[in-house]
Amino acid sequence: MNSLETQTSTPGTDADAHRLPEDLPQSIQHYIDGQFVDSADGDTFDVLDPVTNETYIQAASGKAADVDHAVAAARRAFTEGPWPRMLPRERSRVLHRIADLVETRGDRLAELESFDSGLPITQALGQARRAAENFRFFADLIVAQADDVYKVPGRQVNYVNRKPIGVAGLITPWNTPFMLESWKLAPAIAAGNTVVLKPAEFTPLSAGLWAGIFEEAGLPQGVFNLVNGFGEQAGDALVKHPEVPLISFTGESATGQLIFANAAPYLKGLSMELGGKSPAIVFADADLEAAVNATIFGVFSLNGERCTAGSRILVQREVYDEFVERYAAQAKRVKVGLPHQKTTEVGALVHPEHYEKVMSYVELGKTEGRLVAGGDRPEGFETGNFVAPTVFADVPPTARIFQEEIFGPVVAITPFDTEEEALALANDTRYGLAAYIWTNDLKRSHNIAQAVEAGMVWLNSNNVRDLRTPFGGVKASGLGHEGGYRSLDFYTDQQAVHINLGEVHNPVFGKAD
């Protein structure tokens, strides 16, 4: 592994100062067929530190030639290698070892992830634990997997022969990159496929760690391949590669639409986890303290760069003023800080381009709603991608900040009077990823949950998720659900095998008289 050549960090005197993590690789490379390699054309791109916006490392910029190379390795590992043919129990052992290694390296993973993405370190640690859990979950699932058998007594038995499909193309976004990669890698590999991963270009650092983890856990060479680069080049080449029958994509809805069109001529299996603008509906009978705490966390955790963020809060008129007042006061106390500091609750947004986008919505919000918290850089952070937690009240549903995904620490609050109005407002966007409902009325909670246009609903809780449940959105938030067995369904083919037990049962054509 060449990436063990390392940069030297420049230790400062202040223990709390922002600095490069120790032992960074010299550069970020692709990982193809068990080797770290540069791009075939030697091209690289700059990766920025979100706190200073200075380039801190170069990453290999993959193109079609690199994707070809990676797909060929993955294809070879699929057709000639042991992985797809191993017993589920043997694959499961490797997956458990991967989970163990992710757990033991959690601190390092979180350190790199937090540095590269600007996520607060405590939250990056939680994401590393979740990444390990994803592997453990699918390690267990593949040994417990049961497939259907259908019997027609005396005549026929039919059974489902589940098989891996081939090379899966995995395309991931920059929010919680390592965890979201694990979400796709674990089921794809567990099912016996081989993969080519294309991580987001804003945050390529942590993906390289998979290589060492997989090698140490005993994953055969060529099963995992990694190509860095831009979406329009490396991502596009993967989508259009004829030997990649599956694409699992997480990212923006507009990118998902483009990938759908680009994959159409190849008739690929597609799984699309896309954007969101999820409502949190707070009824007057709710536990207001719990609702305020949860909706603050729901939009400001992970810097607001969370697909399931409850970024539209709908509040019943009777408690509206009190809610807005408490919410704004608490939002002002949310601690913005350097990503590596343990007390930080909101860190730096991932990239200056994204910072500009979020700030443009903050400025727009000042014309569309009533600013009650934030609205600028936080005090003391004159550089870097820092945004003060920002709250707009009285936001009409026609406002762009009500309709469009901002993907930052910005929330819109809107009043409603009746249950019908709450539901109409909740459904009044093109998105349908998540919804949160706060009420102590049992009937109402279920009726609204079932009527709301969202792939996932949480009643009186935040988005803690049982890994067995479906994950995914409706409308512009996605197509296809992963999660639990559904992920294995996406990454496998369910072949039907029919066995005759009796007379061959068909009319005889061309019978001799």
Enzyme catalytic residues: 273, 307
Note whether 411 and 393 are within 8 A (CB): no
Stretch in the footprint of ligand NAD (CB under 6 A) among 42-50, 85-93, 173-181, 497-505:
173-181
Among 49, 111, 181, 236, binds ligand NAD (CB under 6 A): 236
Asked if 231 touches ligand NAD (CB under 6 A), the answer is yes
Q: Which two tokens stand for residue 285?
A: 């009978």
Query: Is the Cβ of residue 311 or residue 390 nearer to ligand NAD in the bound state?
Result: 311
Contact residues for 424 (Cβ-Cβ < 8 A; gap 6+): none
User: Per residue, what are the HEC states of 209-237?
Assistant: HHHHHHHHHCCCCCCEEECCCCHHHHHHH
CB 105 within 8 A of CB 132: no
Candidates 24, 211, 244, 259; binder of ligand NAD (CB under 6 A) is 259
Residue nearest ligand NAD (C-beta atom) = 231
* Contact status, residue 220 vs residue 194, Cβ threshold 8 Å: no
Q: Which is nearer to ligand NAD, 358 or 422 (CB)?
A: 358
Q: Do 287 and 438 form a contact (C-beta atoms < 8 A)? A: yes
Site string for ligand NAD, 455-494 (x = CB under 6 A): ------------------x---xx----------------
116 part of the interface to ligand NAD, by CB under 6 A: no
* Residue 173 binds ligand NAD, judged by CB under 6 A: yes
Beta bridge partners of 314: 281, 414
- Residue 407 engages ligand NAD in binding (rule: CB under 6 A): yes
50 touches ligand NAD by CB under 6 A = no
Give the one residue of 143, 157, 160, 258 binding ligand NAD; rule: CB under 6 A: 258
Long-range Cβ contact pairs of 60-63 (< 8 A, separation 24 or more):
60/27, 60/28, 60/29, 60/30, 60/228, 60/229, 61/228, 61/229, 61/230, 61/233, 61/234, 62/30, 62/198, 62/227, 62/228, 62/229, 62/233, 62/234, 62/237, 63/39, 63/229, 63/233, 63/234, 63/237
Rule CB under 6 A: is residue 232 a binding residue for ligand NAD? yes
Three-state DSSP at 364 gives helix
- Decide if residue 239 touches ligand NAD (CB under 6 A): yes
Kindly list the strands in the beta sheet with 279-282, ordered across the sheet, starting from the edge strand earlier in the chain.
370-373, 390-393, 410-416, 312-316, 279-282, 434-438, 456-459
Q: Does 405 bind ligand NAD (CB under 6 A)?
A: yes
Q: What mask, x for binding ligand NAD by CB under 6 A, covers residues 189 to 228? A: ---------x-xx---------------------------
Name the residue nearer to ligand NAD (CB basis): 187 or 473. Answer: 473
Instruction: Give the binding site for ligand NAD (CB under 6 A).
Output: 171-175, 180, 198, 200-201, 230-232, 235-236, 239, 250-252, 255, 258-259, 273-276, 307, 405, 407, 433, 473, 477-478
